[in-house]
């Protein structure tokens, strides 16, 4: 009997393109704090990593109160407008449906708060293939992907040594976090990570349609 691995999916830059919503909400936060707003394209670096880390860079501060003020202003806009300023990458719905039909256990693992991630999946009709959604808490708990995946594995009682587990994502944080938890990693090139970021990935996918075959051919095994 063929055993498929557990598959963890990143959200931003992997399933959907969130550039407009994230960058415009960051710009709104900076404006609200009377800070200089960079060009929108210069805010692309903030798509994927923990947002508090990005605000620390943008504000050039480690002052947690200032960072939390920025987060508050960001969410003023993002929670009602920004999270839907988003687009599903072509081929993603078909890929998710095919992998689910094939018998994969599929989990979302995003640095975005799970309350937002759940709404995004529902809005774009991507919820059905996923067995569960994992994201950080609004207070920042598990905002770093390594901590998030560790928590996910514990909650789902998954041991990557016994059951192959593959993280799919577009940024270095996805790759590092997967390996830190004993998981494999597939980097995707249609998101926001550079080629150098993805060089530590076990495999690379250049289009969503490649994912099912990459996993079936490299990580499935006879039980």
- Can you tell me the distance from the alpha carbon of 59 to that of 216, in angstroms, rounded to the nearest whole number? 44
Helix locations, 33-141, DSSP H:
51-59, 64-78, 92-102, 114-123
Question: How far is C-alpha 184 from the geometric centre of its chain's CA atoms?
Answer: 16
Contact 140, 112 (CB under 8 A): no
Q: Which of 10, 12, 17, 174 is catalytic?
A: 10
Q: What does the buried/exposed string (b/e) look like for 54-86 if buried means 16 or more CB atoms within 10 Å of the residue's CB? A: bbbebbeeeeeebbebbbebbbebbeeebbebb
Contact 111, 87 (CB under 8 A): no
Contact 124, 88 (CB under 8 A): yes
Closest residue by Cα to residue 105 from 61, 53, 155: 155
* Angle made by CA atoms 88, 94, 97, in degrees to the nearest 5: 110
- Only one residue has tokens 């969130």, namely 18
210 is catalytic: no
Active site residues: 10
């Amino acid at each position: 009997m063929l055993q498929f691995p557990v598959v963890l999916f990143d959200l931003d830059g992997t399933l959907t393109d969130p550039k407009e919503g994230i960058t415009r909400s960051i710009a709104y936060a900076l404006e609200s704090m009377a800070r200089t707003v960079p060009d929108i394209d210069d805010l692309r670096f903030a798509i994927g990593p923990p947002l508090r880390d990005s605000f620390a860079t943008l504000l050039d501060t480690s002052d947690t109160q200032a960072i939390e003020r920025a987060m508050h202003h960001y969410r003023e806009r993002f929670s009602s407008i920004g999270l839907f300023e988003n687009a599903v990458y072509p081929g993603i719905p078909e890929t998710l449906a095919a992998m689910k039909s094939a018998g994969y256990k599929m989990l979302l693992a995003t640095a975005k708060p799970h309350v937002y991630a759940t709404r995004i999946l529902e809005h774009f009709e991507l919820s059905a293939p996923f067995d569960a959604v994992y994201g950080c808490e609004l207070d920042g708990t598990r905002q770093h992907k390594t901590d998030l995946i560790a928590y996910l594995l514990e909650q789902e009682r998954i041991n990557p040594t016994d059951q192959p587990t593959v993280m799919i994502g577009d940024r270095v944080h996805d790759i590092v976090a997967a390996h830190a938890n004993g998981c494999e990693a597939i980097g995707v090139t249609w998101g926001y990570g550079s080629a150098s970021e993805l060089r530590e990935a076990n495999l690379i996918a250049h289009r969503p349609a490649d994912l099912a075959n990459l996993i079936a051919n490299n990580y499935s095994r006879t039980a």
